[in-house]
A and B are shown apart, each in its own frame.
Chain A
């Protein structure tokens, strides 16, 4: 009788627990309860491994659309999209020459929705490259790289390089003619230091270009070794490194005090909506914690009511909105245009013109004048310059404002005009009249390496920005001039390389004028 009673009580408890289980699972997962109060929302954010990269509260300035245009989040969203679709593609992809091509054909025709998934992957990859570049431009033009965000700018640069590397390594995987010859070109660009070592006659014992190419391809030509290298880089190493750096990037945004905003941001914002619960940093409940005596900017005390909103849900809505917008754009592009797939790679039949992926076509355009300068010298110089910007520009004026610094948007416009005119003039001259090699076939290579459209253009940009720097007596002004010029140069050379270069890298106004092959 007693035993029966015990058993029945246990049974009762079991039933009760079973009934409560869903609620308890939810409670144990989200320990803070329903995020109805600001406190619960804050708890929700830092109780969640994914959300805790966010600050608990976010300044209203950061939520304005014009502050960021959502470009950073868009880049991250595109990355997530490539991650998900990429994993799906991995189920069918086989990284071995010829078999790889067949597996892409399978994806295209056999696998249900395979073509769609591959299209999304391709488009999201391109969207990622574009948004990351635009994001960099946004951060530059709002002078958001300044102290204390210098290091995050460097992390961002690393992310840009990783993004390009991811896109480039993915380019080879379909193993079609387009991929094969684009990677061949890319690998030859990697070999470009050889032009200099050849000119100096030291290639036989010092050949960094050849080594670089060998490391990339694992062989003399693009083959099975290159494919497995690119595959491994593309699906594992680069995404892991990128994800890790991305976490650092986000975390630093929070640790560096949120997004950059002008000092008078609070005054320029409209008043808080009436239903907002204000946060007073002078609140008597606030006590100093250890963090308060660690050097840092997080506990801001004595600044009056904060113009912040809880990240959950305000920031989350903004991020989700951008994320869905990116998904929408990628899906729409994928429905409209299939990812290209040409004939199976054939090492014996070069594509003419063989073009690198589009984001390297500007470099390829410069490489056509000088391999070393175009492929290594100037890109490296540009990267170095970008990296140094936050350490050279120590001004504070206009941080967080679009086209901050003396000159403002007018200076940016002027620089764009100069940058555009200079690159078009140099390109037009070189296309119309040729260059040193055409005039003096016997000219020493070193001369061509030193004096070519790429170096001249860089020189013109440098001189222009120096002039601006002196005229405005501001490093920032010089930086704006240089950055804008380089941006123009990048866009114009990329457009020329993409649309106006035909077989043998000859200039054509239209692909319709290409000679029949």
Chain B
């Protein structure tokens, strides 16, 4: 029976060995302990213990500072290795909110892979460092950001006018004078947050007059357009330059035409308000776990939406690699959380409670953000596979024929049953003022004003039955036998028929639209029958036959879709 004794001895020694191994693993092999043992401050070695940043209001207990020792409160180890680097400067103290509030990751974990969340089964991985600014989106919703083109012009103006000679912005520029004078001009990186003196230009000029020599002598007069650009640039300096650029690219790409962010935008696509919080474990993408996987999925999704989301109706985003990167940054920043009121930043209150827009409400930005996704950045229409063509809304031939009222009504009421939403009526649509701004911008894009011909709205009085025959012959091929649309737009749309004047319909058929599939039917052509003026009039009369008498007010008050259904 001695065998049992030996087995007992050996297995007990084995258990002892394993327990010792567990102790060693727990106490000596932990990464953070090794880092802290290696760390030295000016006074000598750093005491080894688990450090954490706690914020009970936000429910955070982040142990990141156990490795990133320099960021722990009161610790000043020498930066002998990258992990001991200090936190870059921020407008607010990073310790105030804990680490994971902005960066994501598992604050409780104490080894790198888990803490950074780049493991399977952690839904909120740490944002990669190059996308760190996306973390601002947890609390902040910057307002009044222009679209990318406008922002780029504003930046170029700032650089062209040589402001960087004296001022430092986002870590660039500024001149350090020898002696005790310090920087020539103030750092402008945060002026968008802190506000700035709008009289700065006059004051600069005054300075130049009083001190013509020295650095001030380089200051030149600035014209109105450039002053406006500088204002845009300065207002967008909120300490997160790449995030602002990303947001600008998001507007430039026209995503809001289909997607909502914080309740504003179209409803064709999914709401993106929490798009940055997608769980990487559920995404169909390459690239390991955690944030690399999420970033790869987003990039792949932009380049070819239907390859990662089955049956996606989203057209591919045609942007440069750099812009896609910025777009990814902005998408990652869509991670807004509910915050206790004491932690809600001012910009968030302004956008969520006071109705301030996150986008700048100038024509360029509004058009880019809401319209360009379908109608193209220059308003020349878009054509993507498997979908009817989107009309060229800034076409001069169109703009000459339609009044601003027509354009406003079209934007406000949309095209029921088609993809064009009623922007004045849907949730998260546009205000009347914004729609007017868009119309003005369309006029600017197309470079054409309305040229009224002085006729009443309805003047055609012709034979609709003759028009029907002609329609079958000349129009049905593109616009559908019942005007339901096909290659060309739907013509039986009640909102179109109500807003369109007879002259608009007549002249459009007569002159066509240059550069599109709509020919001028008054011109002889082998491709289509030539129509005389009275024939065109009868076609217009036939189109009018689709117009059903609307019950009073239903068109202006009821929801267009439900109003449609209620009609006989």
C-alpha gap A106/B120 in the complex (Å): 17
Measured CB to CB, the closest approach of chain B to A503, in angstroms, equals 12
Taking the nearest CB of chain B, how far is it from the CB of A353, in angstroms?
A: 15
Min CB distance A179 to B, Å, is 12
The verdict on A284 contacting chain B, using a C-beta distance below 8 Å, is no
In the complex formed, the residue of A with least CB distance to B106 is A109
A317 and B109 alpha carbons, distance in the complex (Å): 42
B281 and A320 contacting across the interface, CB-CB below 8 Å: no
Judge if B222 is at the interface, Cβ distance under 8 Å. no
Which residue of chain A lies nearest to B122 when distances are taken between CB atoms in the complex?
A343
* Known contacts A109-B110, A343-B281: A317-B19 contact under CB 8 Å: no
Report the bound CA distance from A113 to B24 in whole Å: 11
Q: Which of the segments A211-219, A323-331, A362-370, A454-462 contacts the partner chain? A: A323-331
Question: In the complex, A317 Cα to B108 Cα: how many Å?
Answer: 43
Q: Report the Cα distance A5→B4, complex, angstroms.
A: 58
Residues of A within 8 A of B26 (CB): 112-113, 116
Cβ contact within 8 Å between A331 and B19: yes
Question: Is A381 among interface residues, defined by CB-CB distance under 8 A?
Answer: no
| Contact between B21 and A335, CB atoms less than 8 A apart | yes
Return the CB mask of A288-329 against B: 1 if under 8 Å, else 0: 000000000000000000000100001001101110110110
Q: Any chain A CB within 8 A of the CB of B282? A: yes
Question: Do B108 and A110 have beta carbons less than 8 Å apart?
Answer: yes
Of all chain B residues, which has the CB nearest A342? B121
Is A65 interfacial (CB 8 A cutoff)?
yes
**A335 to B15, alpha carbons, bound, how many Å?**
12
- Quick one: which of B340-368 are within 8 Å of A by CB? none
B482 CB–A CB distance under 8 Å: no
A371 proximity list for chain B (CB < 8 A):
none
Tell yes or no: A176 within 8 A of B by CB.
Answer: yes
A90 CB to nearest chain B CB (Å): 20
B213 CB to closest chain A CB, in angstroms?
A: 64
Q: How far is the CB of B13 from chain A (nearest CB, A)?
A: 9
Bound-state CA distance A359–B463 (Å) is 81
Q: A240 at the A/B interface (Cβ < 8 Å)?
A: no
In the assembled complex, how far is the CB of residue B474 from the closest CB belonging to chain A, in whole angstroms?
50
Within 8 A of A (CB), among B26-72: 26
Closest-by-CB residue of A relative to B308 is A516
B25 near A335 with CB under 8 A, answer yes
Residues of B138-185 at the interface with A, using a CB-CB cut-off of 8 Å, are: none
Q: Is residue A332 contacting chain B, with contact meaning CB distance below 8 A?
A: yes
Q: Does the CB pair B279–A517 fall under 8 Å?
A: no
A92 and B25 alpha carbons, distance in the complex (Å): 22
Q: Is the CB of B284 within 8 A of A317?
A: no
Task: With A63-B4, A327-B11, A341-B121 as known contacts, state yes or no: A105 contacts B108, CB within 8 Å.
Answer: yes
Chain B residues positioned under 8 Å from A341 (CB to CB): 121
User: Does B129 sit within 8 A of A, measured CB to CB?
Assistant: no
Q: A344-B123, A349-B282 are in contact. Are A331 and B7 (CB under 8 A)?
A: no
Say whether, besides A320-B8, A341-B121, A349-B282, A309 and B108 are in contact (CB < 8 Å).
no
Q: How far is the CA of A516 from the CA of B307 in the complex (A)?
A: 12
- Give the Cβ gap from B328 to chain A, nearest Cβ, in Å: 21
Residues in B neighbouring A317, C-beta threshold 8 A: 1, 4-5, 8
Q: Which of A63, A328, A342, A516 contacts B1 (CB 8 A)?
A: A63
**Residues of A within 8 Å of B, CB-based: how many?**
32
- Contact indicator A113/B22 (Cβ below 8 Å): yes
Q: Mark B277-306, 1 if CB is under 8 A from A, else 0.
A: 001011010000000000000000000000
Do the beta carbons of A331 and B15 come within 8 Å of each other?
yes
Give the distance in Å from the alpha carbon of A112 to the alpha carbon of B110 in the complex: 11
Q: Is B544 an interface residue (CB 8 A)?
A: no
**A327–B121 Cα gap in the complex (Å)?**
29
Q: Assign chain B's interface to a size class.
A: 20 to 34
Type the 1/0 row for B232-260, where 1 means its CB is closer than 8 Å to any CB of A.
Answer: 00000000000000000000000000000
Q: Is B18 an interface position by the 8 A CB rule?
A: yes
CB distance from A213 to the nearest CB of B (A): 27
Map CB proximity to B onto A390-421 as digits: 1 under 8 Å, 0 otherwise: 00000000000000000000000000000000
A321 and B14 alpha carbons, distance in the complex (Å): 11
**B4 adjacent to A318 (CB under 8 Å):** yes
Q: Name the CB-closest residue of B to A314.
A: B1
Q: Which residues of B contact A110 (CB under 8 A)?
A: 108
Tell me the residues in window 98-129 of chain A with beta carbons closer than 8 Å to chain B beta carbons.
105-106, 109-110, 112-113, 116
Q: Bound complex: CA of A116 vs CA of B22, how far in Å?
A: 8
The answer, among B5, B18, B120, B123, for a CB contact under 8 Å with A331, is B18
Given contacts A109-B108, A327-B15, A314 and B21 within 8 Å (CB-CB) = no
Contact (Cβ within 8 A) A176 B121: yes
Interchain CA distance A318-B108 in the complex, whole Å: 43
CA A335 – CA B11 in complex, angstroms? 16
**A328: chain B residues within 8 A (beta carbon):** 11, 14-15, 18
Contact of A321 among B7, B110, B121 (CB under 8 A): B7
What B residues does A176 contact at CB under 8 A?
121
Closest to B123 in A: A343
> Chain A, 222-249, contact with B by CB distance < 8 Å: what is the 0/1 string?
0000000000000000000000000000
Q: B14 contacts which chain A residues (CB < 8 A)?
A: 324, 328, 332
Q: CA of A311 to CA of B424 in the docked complex: distance in angstroms?
A: 90
Q: Which residue of A lies closest to B19 (CB)?
A: A331
Determine the distance from Cα of A177 to Cα of B121 in the docked complex, in whole angstroms: 9
Any chain A CB within 8 A of the CB of B3? yes
Check A324 against B114 for contact (C-beta < 8 Å). no
Residue among B22, B26, B120 with the highest chain A CB neighbour number at 10 A: B22
Tell me the nearest residue of chain A to B121, going by C-beta. A342
Does residue B12 face the partner (Cβ distance < 8 Å to A)? yes
A325 surroundings in chain B (CB, below 8 A): 7, 11
Which among A109, A324, A516 is the interface contact of B11 at CB below 8 angstroms? Answer: A324
Residue of A nearest to B114 (CB): A109
Q: Which chain A residues (334-359) contact chain B, with CB distance < 8 Å?
A: 335, 341-344, 349
A325's nearest neighbour on chain B, judged by CB, is: B11
* Complex alpha-carbon distance, A342 and B8, angstroms: 37
- Which residues between 502 and 517 of chain A lie within 8 Å of chain B, taking CB atoms? 516-517
Contacts of B3 in A (CB 8 A): 65
Max chain A C-beta neighbours (<10 A), residue from B18, B21, B123: B18
Evaluate contact between A309 and B1: CB separation under 8 angstroms: yes
Point out which of A65, A325, A517 has the most chain B C-beta atoms below 10 A from its C-beta. Answer: A325
Return A204 CB to nearest CB of chain B, in Å. 38
- Min CB distance, A478 to chain B, in Å? 37
The answer to whether A324 touches B12, judged by C-beta atoms less than 8 angstroms apart, is yes
Establish whether residues B284 and A321, one from each chain, have CB atoms under 8 Å apart when the complex forms: no
Which residues of the partner chain B approach A332 to less than 8 Å between Cβ atoms? 14, 18
Report the bound CA distance from A325 to B9 in whole Å.
Answer: 10
Name the distance in Å between B211's Cβ and chain A's nearest Cβ: 61
B58 CB to nearest A CB, Å = 15
Is B123 a contact partner of A324 (Cβ separation < 8 A)? no
Which A residues are CB-close (under 8 A) to B18?
A: 328, 331-332, 335
B108 touches which of A106, A112, A335 (Cβ 8 Å): A106
A314 touches B121 (CB 8 A): no
Q: Which residues of A contact B21 (CB under 8 A)?
A: 335
Complex Cα distance, B284 from A328, in Å, reads 41
Q: Are B15 and A321 in contact (CB under 8 A)?
A: no
Asked if B15 and A324 make an inter-chain contact with CB atoms under 8 angstroms apart, the answer reads: yes
Contact call B4/A321, Cβ cutoff below 8 A? yes
List chain A residues, Cβ under 8 A from B284.
516-517
Can you list 23 residue pairs at the A/B interface with Cβ under 8 Å?
A65-B3, A105-B106, A109-B106, A109-B114, A112-B26, A176-B121, A309-B1, A314-B4, A317-B1, A318-B1, A320-B8, A321-B5, A324-B8, A324-B12, A324-B15, A328-B11, A328-B15, A328-B18, A331-B15, A335-B21, A343-B121, A344-B123, A517-B282
Q: Which residues of B contact A (CB under 8 A)?
A: 1, 3-5, 7-8, 11-12, 14-15, 18-19, 21-22, 25-26, 106, 108-110, 114, 120-123, 279, 281-282, 284
Sorted nearest first, the 10 A-B pairs with minimum C-beta distance are A324-B11, A321-B8, A321-B7, A331-B18, A325-B11, A328-B14, A318-B4, A109-B108, A342-B121, A317-B4
